[in-house]
Structure 1
């Protein structure tokens, strides 16, 4: 199967306009967590999460190619995608900033492979780091889900530059 396509036409918009248009798409908010060889934990906030396949169970997320955490996530065998609950915007903000210990005072449990699963998350997916695809200024991570769990509740969303909730009145 040929997956290549001809070059796109010349763009008639700038990065600011593109970013504004993207902000109109409400996304869930996740924190991707992993454990390093020295036993410490790392995590980052990501809204680029999506399902890929049911058989095998695959999900994807993306990370800026120049991110400081790129070597950590591209080199580890496992990570957990934590889908944040409506009351967890503080975790999204905490893990979006550089910190020596973002896990300080954060409740979590360890997965089967020792990865941190954030307490109170709406859902979580423990993934084997199956493959990575560089595209543009990001790297797309495809994870094969080995375990998952859900705690049905309103989820945290991000839309128009602000946090919200899937909770309806």
Structure 2
């Protein structure tokens, strides 16, 4: 075992790649009206009451300041048929929305068409954490559709294809 000061970043990344995640597009509108978006698999729910989610934004990204300053952002949870959209938003550059079907939510966040779920969030808090900024959003509006999610595991996209376990029911 290594101490925290001796962690090999590449090996740590490989270890974290063993955790399968979902794939999302996080989007907002910059103050100058430019649409901004990036692919994120560092996304999770934080709280049900109030409804909060978090996403991590790389500080090295050219649009990080726009996300931190924006009053709202959208999260589109991609279907397994949206690998091309995920790959497009994962690359640096402008015009990521060109040729992609999307709409503006009521709060003004871009939402990707065909996503199996979407969330429109008011910025709740931004927290600096290492080489990323954690954006916490309060969910103001959301929707969902049938479909299978797009996953990411071991540095590659994966799809589930079909449900493999019975739905878990919760009783209170």
Is residue 118 from structure 1 mapped to residue 112 from structure 2 by the alignment?
yes
**Pairing of 1:17-32 with structure 2 (within 5 A):** 17-32=11-26
Equivalenced residue count is 161
Cα contact 2:31–2:66 (8 A) shared by 1: no
**Pairing of 1:1-169 with structure 2 (within 5 A):** 10-11=3-4, 13-168=7-162
Distance verdict in 2 for CA 1:137–1:38, change over 3 Å? closer
Residue range with higher mean Cα deviation, 29-38 or 152-161: 29-38
Distance verdict in 2 for CA 1:90–1:142, change over 3 Å? same
TM-score, length of structure 1 as denominator length:
0.90
C-alpha distance in 1, partners of 2:136/2:37? 17
C-alpha distance in 1, partners of 2:72/2:83? 24
TM-score, length of structure 2 as denominator length:
0.88
Q: CA deviation at 1:139?
A: 1.0
SS of the residue corresponding to residue 32 of structure 2 reads coil
Q: CA deviation at 1:115?
A: 1.7
Superposed CA deviations along residues 117-146 of structure 1, whole A, max 9, x for unmatched, are: 100001011000110111121111100000
Which runs of 5 or more structure 2 residues have no equivalent in the other structure?
165-172
Superposed CA deviations along residues 75-114 of structure 1, whole A, max 9, x for unmatched, are: 1101101101101011111011122211111101110022
Q: Runs of 4 or more off by more than 3 Å in structure 1?
A: none
Q: Which residue of 1 aligns with 2:168?
A: none
Q: CA deviation at 1:13?
A: 4.0
C-alpha distance in 1, partners of 2:7/2:56? 23
Distance verdict in 2 for CA 1:67–1:99, change over 3 Å? closer
